[in-house]
Amino acid sequence: MLSQRESNNSSNRMPIELGKPADYGQFILERRYSLAKSYARDALARGGFYLDVGCGNGAQTILFAKHFNAWMGVDVEPGRLDEFRRELERGEYEVASKPHKILCYEGERIPLEDGSVDVLTCIEVIEHTQNDSATIRELLRVLKPGGTAIITVPNKWWIFETHGASLPLLPWNRVPFFSWLPKRIHSKYAKARIYRRSQIESLVCAGGFEIINSVYVTAPMDMLKPAILQTLVRKSFFRNDATSIPFLSTAVMIVATKPNH
């Protein structure tokens, strides 16, 4: 949720819209957190200073922040950050008592010094930024050598376009298989970028990171109704947090480190 300006590295100049964070209590929050604990266990155990880039309402931030001595959340939407602050005030969250900052910024340069962060998360954010490559380099800049980044982006091969699209004559913007269309068509109507797994891996490596793990995040099925059907599918095809089948995944999670050299 970093920038509403147009992408400058897309040949079709797709209009980028702000994203909507997951609501408190949604299953996807726990699914991401569980995967991160599995694939970045050592990084979380070390503690230190944690940064959530594009923190939104803080629903994801609070799960990670409890592992650290101090933390910060940054976002471009003041209203989302106000939601976050109100939630901390009325909830009984351990992280509220730790040293922390919740800041609004312009979405390009993170307001931190070089090499000041031990672990950062950037969850469903890069696809909304003005320049995804520049965003990756900025994440690398603020990390300490040996620091860890946990990044997720939408998966091209999920059946539904997770961010929707502005399609002519179709008021319902979650058209099946729209995300599978060629990039030049998708970019014309989509509200955010979408990535193949190999594409986001290449982007992260080109930005200077070393990848530790890359996994498909299994669809949480939060939007499926009624509840009995949701429970049924979660216990069958969508049971595990990660999947080897791209069509069952809404996102790709990358766990990467900043080299020590």
Residue 85 burial (CB count, 10 A): 14
C-alpha span between 160 and 250 (Å, rounded): 8
Phi and psi at residue 252, to the nearest 5°: -110, 130
Q: Which residue has the tokens 């059946």?
A: 159
In order of 147, 193, 216, 245, the CA distances from 248 in angstroms are: 30, 19, 8, 6
172 within some domain: no
Q: What is the pLDDT of residue 8?
A: 37
106 within some domain: yes
CA-nearest of 94, 109, 126 to 1 is: 126
Q: What is the DSSP code (8-state) at residue 96?
A: G
* pTM, full prediction: 0.89
C-alpha span between 50 and 120 (Å, rounded): 6
pLDDT in tens, 12-35: 345 567 888 999 999 999 999 999
4 within some domain: no
Rounded to the nearest integer, the mean pLDDT of the chain is 89
Pairing of strands 249-257, 143-154: antiparallel
pLDDT in tens, 103-150: 999 999 999 999 999 999 999 999 999 899 999 999 999 999 999 999
13 within some domain: no
Pairing of strands 242-243, 249-257: unpaired
8 within some domain: no
15 within some domain: no
Query: What domain count does the chain have?
Result: 1
Straight-line distance from the first to the last Cα atom of the chain, in angstroms, rounded to the nearest whole number: 31
245 within some domain: yes
Q: What is the DSSP code (8-state) at residue 176?
A: B
Pairing of strands 210-218, 100-104: unpaired
Q: What is the DSSP code (8-state) at residue 157?
A: T
Domain containing 106 equals 27-154+193-257
118 within some domain: yes
CATH classification at residue 117: 3.40.50.150
